[in-house]
Structure 1
Amino acid sequence: MTNSIREIPLSESFLIIGSNTTENHPVIGSMIKNEVINKGKKLVVVDPRKIELARYADIFLQIKAGTNIAILNGFAHVLIKEDLYDKEFVQNRCEGFEEMAKALEKYTPEFVANICGIDDPFKIVEAARLFAASKPMALYYCMGITQFKSGTNGVKSCANLQMLLGNIGILGGGVNPLRGQNNVQGACDMGALPNVYTGYQSVSIDDNREKFIKMWGSEFELSKNPGLTVVESLNGVLTGDVKAIYIMGENPVISDPDQSHVIEALKQLDFLVVQDIVMTETAALADVVLPACAFLEKEGTVTNTERRVQLMKKIVTPPGEVKEDWRIIMEIANIMGANWDYKSAEDIFEEIRQLTPSYGGITYKRLEKELIQWPCPRENHPGTQILHKDRFSRGLGLFSVVEFTPPAEDIDPQYPMVLTTGRILQHFHTGTMTRNSKILDEICHEAFIEIHPNDASNYNISNGEEISISTRRGSVRVKAKITDRVKPGIIFMPFHFAEAAANKLTHDAMDPYCSIPELKICACKIEKVNAIGGLSE
């Protein structure tokens, strides 16, 4: 997030796009609801489903799945055409405006409405006017923007809109991605990506590599080439280029696209190690399972969605032979010939500080007393609540020319419907924790699909009836939930349930820039399951 959660009361309006905020980030969602319901703040929601926040929206645009870029370009087109954009900010803080404006000329409300499946093009105009009249506007997005083959361009479109409105570097504004887990921001900060070291320092830059080699005392040359993403690693198994995989705190059998492909790859490995707190579907395939500590059984830091670094204390003694993740890694490394001698998580954090400028001023002592957001380069630095206040990291903000491109897989007569996947309030990711909660699992104990009443009528499907949903990758059976939350032709399915895994259906088409798979959309078909378990059309 460029801004901070505590700024929500300072926003005059909100754009929620690609985020089911009240279900996936309920604290932030409830804060936004409070501002809209009780304080009259303006709200625009853009989503393929009628999410809860749509009930409170001044304008709800129920777009076709995968058309985020078109609608964002449409907003920008109106702002430029009607001279509603922030000229001072654009002139003084940005570059590339003329090129972007020319590319946006064709994104008229009518053109965009046709792409997005919006009945009334004037709603696009109304939304753009609302943004211009209600500053600061805060934009919030989640995986409904990023999990497409055009995900990177979707984020660029969000940035284009907020720069155009002058909503960057000010209280209550910003481009605010809501991260999927409590420490996914921290994991990325620590270099859990194939192309960077800690603090997003590129592996391809010589000075970065030399700094890390010197600190680590490595006798080996660190590669200047980026590594493989998750999808690329699994593809590499099937080509014979990857022989072993070490998985920590991840359950790709349920969470990754094209489940059959994932299982085939994991079974073909010479050696699979899984380190986790429970026996997951992935761990069941492992040659070795290493039991790791849960969060209350260890100390360390987590960094949340607003870049806030928080100290976590050990509360519970780990059972049996369970160990902290860092200790397991260190012991394996030392058996393999390393000479690591960390005594605590704080020792490792001190090394992180020395190597990572954005964390340089953060210490355990400070975290005992302060709430600190990176970048915090010095110990006398207060941390950074808002990014890009005076300048962008590159100097001027760059407007990007972003064209709408359709999703990788289109519908056809054999697969005439669109499947989109996501999370629900009661469960978290692959359900390894929440489905072990009796209360949560009783509330929602099985997979389902949401299907529009028109489609249910066309297929003669009753509410609660078991149906088969199939794609080019596989098929699962689930109960039907008839609702107008989805548009005709669209099916929504949560991915938490191993016994009816949504990712048995999804495909692994990837964003060419960051290799994120297109988990949010694919073509599918549905069929009735008759009383004796056979299929009927």
Structure 2
Amino acid sequence: MTNSINEISGADFILACGTNTAECHPVIGYKVNKAVRNGAKLVVVDPRETDFALMATEHLQLKPGTDIAFFNGLANVIINENLWNKEFVNNRTENFEALKETVAKYTPEYVEGITGIPAEKIKEVARAYAGAERATILYTMGVTQHICGTHNVFAVANLAMLCGQIGRESTGVNPLRGQNNVQGACDMGALPNVLTGYQSVADPAVREKFGKAWNCTVPEKAGLTVGEMMNAAAQGDVKAMFIMGENPVLSDADIGHVAEGLAKLDFLVVQDIFLTETAQYADVVLPAACFAEKDGTFTNTERRVQRVRKAVEPPGEALADWEIICRLANAMGYQMSYSSPADIMDEIAGLTPSYGGISFSRLEQKGIQWPCPTPDHPGTPFLHAEKFSRGLGKFHAVEHVPPDEQPDEEYPFILSTGRRLYHYHTGTMTRKGVLNDFMPADYLEINSADAGRLGINDGDKVKVKSRRGSIKITAKVTDTVPPGVVFASFHFAETPINRLTNPKFDAIAKIPELKVCAAKVCAVNVTK
């Protein structure tokens, strides 16, 4: 997030796109609710009419996979009606003319034909966003999990810069992370092309710095993303794999292909707190400590680094992740001699400019938001106050790209996936206790008009099929989804929806198009 969670409640306009915030991020949903109670206008852009959409001032029910057209349509209105922030654009950005030229054809009427959002609503939202004193944009994987996901984010950033709604309190571009330490994992280099703090492996000076600290040669070539690893495993190019705290057999797109890749490996190690579906493919399972059984830090979605303190001892032979990694490294002949998580944090601070002033002693008092370059720096509640990290903010002129799969005669529905309130990712933790009692099984949301046409009643078993596989699942007849769209979550091994999803990915970020694939639905004859 460019801004802080608490700042959301101070916004007077909130544009929430591709996010079911109330269910997937309830704490942040509370801040949105507070802003609305204080008089803020909330616009939710989502194909589904969720409870979050129902609390909005305006719900724009766009067709899945048409986000760029929508954002370009807003920019078109703002530029044509002379509503853009000229001082901000002139002083702090570049490439405006390219954006202006590209969005010229995205008139509200043209965009209505692509997105299904009425032209007048597009005009209203554009004027309200541009005219707000403090407008913030929230988004999640409904924006990113497309073959054009990176360009979707460019379009979001274009809108914020165009109106100068960034670099100030209660404004900004704010992606909401889906898990508690996803931000921290990325910050620490759990990406194939960077080291800690997003320092590129392609930079010789970065490689030299880390090479000296670690007494090794840092490879200059970027590694593979998760999807690329699974493809390489299936092709026999990757022979061994180490999976930590991840359950790709349920969470990745086209999980039949994932299972094929894992089965072909010569050796698979899984490090986790439970015997997950992925761990069942492993040659060796290493038991890890959970969050309450170890010391360390998490970095949350607002870039806040916070202390994690051990409450209980880990069971059996389970160890903290860092201890397992150190033991493995030492066994393989590379000396790792960290004595504690505090020791590791000191190394992080020494090698990572954005974490340079963060230490366990400071975190004992409260969490600190990076960038925090020096020990006397208070942390940074919001980014880009004076300038962007690259200097001038760059407008990226991007065009609408339709989803990789379109509905057709054989597969007439769009299948989209997401989360439910009571569960978390693949249910590894939430399906072990009381939360599973609240929701022990998933269901397929299908519009009442579609259900009536297909002879499907609420509670019937249905078969859902895509070009990659099929599953059976209970139908929930509802007008939450529009005609032609069906929706289910990926939490349940009994109904593994990602058996169906499309692995085609964004060319830049390599994120698969989990939010849109073509599917067919039919009733299943079962004895009740």
User: Per-residue displacement from partner, 1:155-210 (whole Å, max 9, x unpaired)?
Assistant: 11110001111111011100000001000000000000000000000001100000
Pairs within 5 Å for 1:436-475: 436-437=432-433, 439-475=434-470
Q: TM-score, normalised by structure 1?
A: 0.97
- Confirm whether residue 163 of structure 1 aligns to residue 161 of structure 2: yes
Taking the aligned partners of 2:108 and 2:375, their CA distance within structure 1 comes to: 50
Aligned-partner SS, 1:114: helix
Does residue 344 of the first structure (1) align with residue 340 of the second (2)? Answer: yes
| Structure 2 letter corresponding to 1:455 | D
Q: How does 1:388-407 map to 2 (within 5 A)?
A: 388-407=384-403
Show the 5 A alignment for 1:226-241.
226-241=222-237
Superposition pairs for residues 155-304 of structure 1, below 5 Å? 155-218=153-216, 221-304=217-300
Do the aligned residues in 2 keep the contact of 1:72 with 1:158 (CA within 8 Å)? Answer: yes
| 1:465-496 CA distance string (max 9 Å, x none) | 11000001110011111111111000011110
Q: 8 Å contact 1:354–1:360 — kept in the other structure?
A: yes
Measure, in 2, the Cα distance between the counterparts of 1:435 and 1:135.
43
Q: Measure the CA separation in 2 of the matches of 1:186 and 1:294.
A: 16
Residue-by-residue CA offset, 1:57-100 (whole Å, 9 max, x unaligned): 22211001111111111111100011111111111111111110
> SS where residue 129 of structure 1 aligns?
helix
Structure 1 residue corresponding to 2:513, chosen from 513, 518, 537: 518
The answer on 1:44 being equivalent to 2:43 is: yes
2:501 to 501, 506, 516: 506
How far does the alpha carbon of each residue in 1:211-233 deviate from its partner, in whole angstroms, 9 at most, with x for none?
A: 00000012xx3211100000100
Residue 333 in 1 paired to residue 329 in 2? yes
Aligned equivalents of 1:465, 1:232: Cα separation in 2: 38
What corresponds to 1:418 in structure 2?
414
User: How far apart are residue 410 of structure 1 and its match?
Assistant: 1.2
SS in 2 for 1:266: helix
Aligned partner letter, 2:141: M
Q: Is the contact made by 2:411 and 2:518 (CA closer than 8 Å) also made in structure 1?
A: yes
Residue 371 of structure 1: how far off its partner (Å): 2.8
Whole-angstrom CA distance in 2 between matches of 1:454 and 1:359: 54
Aligned to 2:488: 493
Instruction: Report what 2:101 is aligned to.
Output: 102
Residue 34 (structure 1) shift: 2.1
Query: What residue identity is the alignment partner of 2:430?
Result: T
Q: Partner letter of residue 518 of structure 2? A: A
Residue 290 of structure 1: how far off its partner (Å): 0.2
In structure 2, relative to structure 1, the CA distance for the partners of 1:527 and 1:370 (3 Å cut) is same
User: Do the aligned residues in 2 keep the contact of 1:3 with 1:385 (CA within 8 Å)?
Assistant: yes
Aligned equivalents of 2:258, 2:205: Cα separation in 1: 37
Deviates most, 473-482 or 126-135: 126-135
In the alignment, the residues of structure 1 paired with residue 379 and residue 486 of structure 2 have an alpha-carbon distance, to the nearest angstrom, of 44
Kept in 2, the 8 Å contact 1:33–1:53? The answer is no
Contact 2:444–2:475, Cα closer than 8 Å, also in 1: yes
Q: Which digits, 9 at most, give the CA deviation of each residue in 1:235-285, with x for residues without a partner?
A: 111222100000000000000010110111101100000000000000011
Length, aligned pairs only: 528
Indicate the residue corresponding to 1:81 in structure 2: 80
> Could you list the per-position Cα deviations for residues 327-362 of structure 1 after superposition, in whole angstroms to 9, with x for gaps in the alignment?
111111111101111111111111111110000001
Whole-angstrom distance in 1 between the partners of 2:527 and 2:56: 45
Cα contact 1:42–1:134 (8 A) shared by 2: no
Code of the residue aligned with 2:435 in structure 1: it is L
Between the aligned partners of 1:39 and 1:4, the Cα distance in structure 2 is: 18
CA distance in 1: counterparts of 2:416 and 2:284, whole angstroms: 35
Contact 2:10 2:35 in 1 (8 A): no
Kept after mapping to 2: 8 A contact 1:346/1:364? yes
**Which residues in structure 2 correspond to 1:10-159 (within 5 Å)?**
10-36=10-36, 38-118=37-117, 120-159=118-157
* Structure 1 residue matching 2:349: 3-state secondary structure: helix
Give the aligned residue type for 1:163: M
Distance 1:209 1:102 in 2: 40
Separation in structure 2 between the aligned mates of residue 191 and residue 202 of structure 1, nearest angstrom: 9
Deviation (angstroms), 1:532: 4.9
C-alpha distance in 2 between matches for 1:371 and 1:446: 37
Deviations 1:296-317 (A, max 9, x none): 1000000000000001111101
Equivalent position SS for 1:246 = strand
1:407 is paired with a residue whose SS is coil
Alignment gaps of 5+ in structure 2: none
Q: What is the aligned counterpart of 2:431 among 417, 430, 435?
A: 435
In 1, Cα distance between the equivalents of 2:20 and 2:137? 13
Q: In structure 2, what is the Cα distance between the partners aligned to 1:31 and 1:241?
A: 47
- Three-state SS of the structure 2 residue aligned to 1:499 is coil
Return the alpha-carbon distance in structure 2 between the equivalents of residues 158 and 531 of structure 1. 46
Identity %: 54
Superposed CA offset, 1:488-537 (max 9, x none): 0000111100011010110210110011111111000001101359xxxx
Instruction: Report SS of the residue matched to 1:500.
Output: coil
